A and B are shown apart, each in its own frame.
Chain A
Amino acid sequence: MTPTAAKLHKAADAINPELASPLDVTVFVSCYNESQYIANTLDNVREALCEIGTLTYEIIIIDDCSSDDSARVISEYLNRYPTERILFRRNLVNLGWAHNYVDAAFLGCGKYFRVVCGDESEPKETMVRVFRHLGEADILVPYYATTQGRSIYRRTLSRAYTALVNLLSGLHLSYYNGLHVHLRYNVMRWHSNTRGFGFQADLLCQLLGRGFSYKEIPVTTVERKKGNSTALSFRNFLSVGHTLFDILARRLANWTYKKGTSVPASTGGIWPERHWKGLALALAILTATGFYGWAWSLESAIEHPGPGTIDVTSASFGQNCGAAKDNVLDWVRSSCDGKRQCSFRFDSMLLGNPAPTCAKEFLIQWRCSAGGRTFEKLRPPPEPAQNELVPLDCAGEGRSVPGTERPAK
């Protein structure tokens, strides 16, 4: 940069903008008609951060146009703790949680950023547990290890939502609606455009898709202390649907254009190791093609036998001793059909012994596919020895039977 620009900027900040943050963490406390709980929530946040002890922090409270006296309670709190870094903003119109979330990130100056609900729903211990992992990854993703206190309906809905987001995003996270910790810069740079409750999932999927590291942290369940959640309203369903669509669209776009990741999705290893998914897909396609090719080649070979191959038309053993004609046709045919030459092994165990005391003849008649010639092989008595080879071929060894020659098909 030029010396003039250097008066305003630092080179390090241009490369890693989040380094410019003077504090460790910005905690955003959202407030909407929480006059009963907001003071306790703020106490919890302060106590949790004090318990960690090593973190520098600030608290940003945004009152989203509450109709109760939340603003008064917060003002009194600020007056009570003048030495704490607490910033309070009151909206004149209701903007929504997602909007305030991003606004708070812009107002703050911590490296990391976390939201805490103003309804005192999160115990101090949970906050401590999450803050202890600060710095271990770009994103901390709390999830509920136990589901005590939650109705089956809420649990089912929550699991279905998580499964759906996992399916659409291709990720494998345990929970998307926990109160995540992000790099504050990421919240500003990659903030979600949605207004509904799906913004956390949207932001998380976007950041993970860009290769930011994350760590999942098991925490205990927290439940609202008052009233019913508005998360299940029809309006929110629409909004969440929109978010899910965005997640899917982004995934498809990333896949199509092969870009969008500022950090490599996976590092280390040689080329095929890094692109194992593509290789697996290629192998699956090759396998399917291989099976199809084999089946096709086998069926073609059966339906169109090559030139000069054997077609056994008759095979009888002991017909001169009263045995049925073609009593061994299946055996000889299964052994020799379709081959250019074949040495049929005489096996009395397979062929049976139709008349033990009679000297049996072993008659085989076959046709060659090339030239339409029909050969006949007649083996005179006595019957062949066990394992004796009876040769069949289409090279003219057989005796041509006059009058049986037929044109080729």
Chain B
Amino acid sequence: MTVFGSFIRGVVSWIGPGSKQFDLIRIYALGALIGFFFLFFGDISVENGAADYVQLALAIVGDASLKGQVLNGGQGRDIGMALIWLISGYLYTHSFIGVIAIQVLMGLTMPLLCYLALRPWFPRAAYWTTLAGTLSLAPILLSKLIHHDQPYIFFTIVSLYVFNRFMLTTRPRSLYILSISVFAVDLMRQAGTGLFWILLPICAFHGGRRNYKHITFATAIFIGANFAYTQYISNLMGNTESEIGGVTGPGIQLFYNIYTNSSEFGVSLSPRLGPSVSLILNRLHQCSLPSPAQSKLLANWPGPAQFSNENIYRYTADELVNKVATQSNREYYYLIMQCVAAHPSELDRILLNASLEIARVHPLYILELFLRNSLELLYDPGWLHGRFTTAPQFQGGLIFPFGDNVRVEQGGNIGDTRFAQRALSEASFIPLERQPQFVADLYFSIHQIWYRYYHPITIVLGCLAWFSWFSTALGLLQQWTGAAWLTRCSSRWLSDRVIPASIGISALLLWNVAIVAIAVEPLYRYDFGLLTLKIMLAGVGVVVFLNLAQRAIWLLRMRLKMLVHHSGEPIKG
């Protein structure tokens, strides 16, 4: 027994939580092992529209002009990823190596930041949670995807770490770093702008009166940086004063979700919704004249001829407008984009107004859509509207980002061919083809496990998060009311530690869920980005759950002892 106990202690000392440095080293080592496996043997994926950032990078260094160009279908691109392309040296090397190395390094650093963010409150849980997160592949899942997702997740995690530092120390320095890190998130995607205004009130509330001055300065830094950035990107894109100042078209983005889901919720477009919707339908009608099949604007519609013939060309102009209004789908959305306005800024304005008109008349529809998408992203992600189909939202597209179905399928890993030939050759190279069989077997085993357990794990994570949220709610309620029974409850639910540890994670997670729910569809790609946050929140939830379970077992044992005692039996043990 002693030998066995010694063996167990030995094993625990090697794999269990230890000192901070030792924990960090083991987490990094595991992350590096997994990261390098996929760096060497995984495919590079090039997302559609990824080359927009190279164009932006060229414009930054003055080698190209973006005036008159439409990036991302008029929604524009943010500059952060373009800066990473510059840092990676792509403009000189014409290779993906630099940018992938940066993204993999981000993936290796993320678990360390997660660990450090949780450790002050839950040292052991921080270790196990981070190990679980690393094993889930979440930090490196998008590291070989050529797009802005990995840097966005990385800077989100950096912001979370800095935010948690502030929750721990309330030092003003953390506030300033937070404003800079959230600005970096903002540079990757515009969602970062809103993020700052979510985190700021929490900092103000937690930091107390003595930090008000610093909060004001940090806010000023953030606003100033954003203002300068907006001006810069406007100049870079060659926009005039009347055009959209930033790079993102909120109207185009919002209208996509509101329109494509409308028929599923029984909402149809009609002139009575408002002048902008009426304008859309009118322009669509004019665009379809004399008939969709003979219309110049609708001619040569991309995609299978069968779909175009059945759903566009066989109708009259009136019939097509009616179909667009009542049977919303992704293809009809592109029809609207094609017909309503030629200039992105005008299109964006019309679509934004139309979205607001629909929301005004059907507020419940917007609420239902928002809730449905939010729940899907939290518990059952991967829902989308497909192209060249009139089918409603369906679930699909769970593709292992390091290359699904290599050897058989093609093209899935390159969605944008505007890169240099050298880079495209790197992306089309499939490393696994040249590896020994055991490497391929290991790769596909991991792939299979990941694919099989992705959904069950997502559901479990979503459920565990509720423990954190309930504990947070109890703690906040207790602070607000000061009721004695709430003090007892919140103490059992560990609220005093759960609140500072998880409030930042919850804020970041829910903000991203809300943005996706309202502006885009709950695709797997967005869920991959939120997986790290979900795991962290679930880790805190597990601590709460175990604490409650431990107490429940203790109570049960006490009850049993009392029962035995009252029945007159001697107490054993």
Binding site for B on A (CB under 8 A): 269-270, 272-273, 276-277, 279-280, 283, 286-287, 290-291, 293-295, 297-299, 301-302, 306, 330-331, 333-345, 347-350, 352-356, 383, 385-386, 389
Contact = CB atoms under 8 A, between A and B. Distances in A.
30 contacts: A273-B13, A273-B19, A276-B22, A280-B21, A283-B25, A286-B32, A290-B36, A295-B101, A299-B97, A301-B429, A330-B424, A333-B428, A334-B417, A334-B424, A339-B407, A339-B433, A345-B409, A345-B411, A347-B411, A348-B302, A348-B303, A349-B303, A349-B388, A350-B411, A353-B303, A353-B308, A355-B300, A356-B300, A356-B308, A389-B410
Interface of B: 13-14, 18-19, 21-22, 25, 28-29, 32, 36, 39-40, 95, 97, 101, 104, 108, 299-306, 308, 387-388, 407-412, 414, 417, 422, 424-431, 433-434
A336 B300 contact: no
A295 to B, nearest CB: 5
A301 B304 contact: no
- Top 7 closest pairs, chain A to chain B, by CB: A335-B410, A330-B417, A276-B21, A273-B22, A334-B414, A386-B304, A335-B411
Contacts of B417: 330-331, 334
Nearest to A279: B25
A343 B101 contact: no
A295 B96 CA distance: 10
Contacts of B14: 270
Contacts of A338: 425, 428-430
Contact of B40 (A269, A294, A344, A352): A294
Contacts of A386: 303-304, 306, 388
Given A287-B32, A336-B410, A356-B308, A301 B25 contact: no
Nearest to A328: B417
Given A302-B429, A389-B410, 17 more contacts: A269-B13, A276-B22, A297-B431, A299-B95, A299-B97, A302-B422, A330-B424, A331-B411, A334-B427, A335-B414, A339-B430, A342-B410, A343-B409, A345-B411, A353-B302, A383-B305, A385-B304
A173 to B, nearest CB: 19
B89 to A, nearest CB: 12
B32 A356 contact: no
Contacts of A287: 32, 108
Contacts of A334: 411, 414, 417, 424, 427-428
A344 B407 contact: no
Nearest to A291: B101
Contacts of A283: 25, 28-29, 32
A51 B104 CA distance: 61
A353 B300 CA distance: 6
A294 B425 CA distance: 15
A328 B457 CA distance: 41
Contacts of B101: 291, 295
A386 B305 CA distance: 9
Nearest to B10: A270
Contacts of A337: 425, 428
A158 to B, nearest CB: 21
**Interface-centre pick from A277, A334, A385 (highest chain B CB count, 10 A):** A334
A302 B93 CA distance: 14
A293 B429 CA distance: 16
Contacts of A269: 13, 18-19, 22
